[in-house]
Amino acid sequence: MQRLSVVIPIYNEVDNIPHLVPAVTEVLQKTGLDYEVICVDDGSRDGSTERLRHLARERHDLKVVVLRRNYGQTAALAAGFDQATGDVVITLDGDLQNDPHDIPRLLAKLAEGYDLVCGWRQHRQDDGLTRLLPSRVANWLIGQVTGVKLHDYGCTLKAYRRELLRDMHLYGELHRFLPALADMEGARIAEIPVQHHPRRFGRSKYGLGRTLRVLMDLLTIAFMKTFLTRPMHVFGLVGLVFLLLGLGLGTYLAVLKWVWGQSIGQRPLLFLAGLAVTSGLQLFCFGLLAELLMRTYHESQGRPIYRIREVVAGRPHALVD
């Protein structure tokens, strides 16, 4: 039977917890599936930890992971993923803004053969332009850069197949880019509209500062996506173009000097030719170095350059009639 793990990051959500856990478990019980709820306390200082501990003592289906300090939502999710034992992992926010009633629909979509199903907060209930506008821009940018076209990357409500999570590694604030990372792992990704509610208790943990960090992470993703497996294809190519340009200009100047007897010592073109040759060579060498680094990276982590969806073995010989 399928087993579900629901992972919930919690940072200072003391008043949400008493509503959250029962709401989630009620929905999960109705699915009739085997399940566990994993609340990751991300260094809360408002009594959330005690409240979670208290709840865990009276419930068999709740596991609480308490982090030493506040590491951020991405790390909290990663900690939950590492603890999860289910075949399917569902994540949602701990502030009741996501609706657990959407879980069965996510599961149904996943069962259609997807590896990742993302929630889309079609009618988002967050206040004001300061939240919605940066998020619009971020969603558009992420789509352009990563090539994974979703309406909403920031929605925590998502369902993952466990095998997919095993292959993904989270850093920084990369949880927003999980669909892009999943895509790099060859995942099949779907998106469905989900409910979104205003925050009733507690405060949002994010402001405008997040937008900048998201932009930086976007650069990292863009870099990883193109350069990670074949850096030489990028740096080497650009290096080659520069090198050829420099050599071309050099030849032209040499002809001017030796065939036509012109003086070229004062020409800006001479400097340009020198610059192009030097930077071309450097880019080329950089590409080679990056290539070496990437090989070490892949091999030291035991990360193959491919991902297997499934292996279908033939019937053992004795069974063939």
Q: Quick one: 67 or 106, whose CB is closer to ligand UDP?
A: 67
Edge-first strand listing for the sheet containing 3-10: 62-66, 34-41, 3-10, 88-91, 158-161, 116-121, 189-194
Q: Which two tokens stand for residue 197?
A: 């509610």
Out of 33, 34, 70, 224, the residue judged to bind ligand UDP by CB under 6 A: 70
Q: In 3-state terms, what secondary structure has residue 260? A: coil
> Residue 37: which H helix or E strand, with range?
strand 34-41
Nearest distance, CB of residue 97 and Mg ion, angstroms: 4
Angle between helix axes 237-258 and 268-300 (nearest 10 degrees) is 160
Work out whether 206 is an interface residue with ligand UDP (CB under 6 A): yes
Out of 36, 95, 183, 191, the residue judged to bind ligand UDP by CB under 6 A: 95
Q: Quick one: 121 or 161, whose CB is closer to Mg ion?
A: 121
- CA angle, 155 as apex, 43 and 54 as ends, to 5°? 35
Beta-bridge partner residues of 64: 39
- Residues 69-128, interacting with Mg ion (CB under 5 A): 93, 95, 97
Work out whether 287 is an interface residue with ligand UDP (CB under 6 A): no
For residues 36 to 55, the per-residue mask of contacts with ligand UDP, x marking binding by CB under 6 A and - elsewhere, is ------x-------------
Say if strands 158-161 and 116-121 run parallel, antiparallel, or are unpaired: antiparallel
Work out whether 42 is an interface residue with Mg ion (CB under 5 A): no
* Residue 26, phi then psi, degrees to nearest 5: -60, -45
Nearest distance, CB of residue 114 and ligand UDP, angstroms: 24
Which range binds ligand UDP by CB under 6 A, 22-30, 58-66, 88-96, 312-320?
Answer: 88-96
Nearest distance, CB of residue 210 and ligand UDP, angstroms: 8
Work out whether 94 is an interface residue with ligand UDP (CB under 6 A): yes
Residues 118, 179: contact at Cβ < 8 Å? Answer: yes
Radius of gyration of the chain (CA): 26
Residue 101 partner contact from ligand UDP, Mg ion, none using kind-dependent CB cut-offs of 5 to 8 Å = none
Out of 6, 86, 93, 183, the residue judged to bind ligand UDP by CB under 6 A: 93
Q: Whole-angstrom Cα distance, residue 168 to residue 301?
A: 12
Work out whether 73 is an interface residue with ligand UDP (CB under 6 A): yes
Work out whether 152 is an interface residue with Mg ion (CB under 5 A): no
Closest CA to 27 of 39, 13, 38, 37: 37
Nearest distance, CB of residue 92 and ligand UDP, angstroms: 8
Work out whether 13 is an interface residue with Mg ion (CB under 5 A): no
Residues that bind ligand UDP (CB under 6 A): 9-11, 13, 42, 70, 72-73, 76, 93-95, 97, 204-206
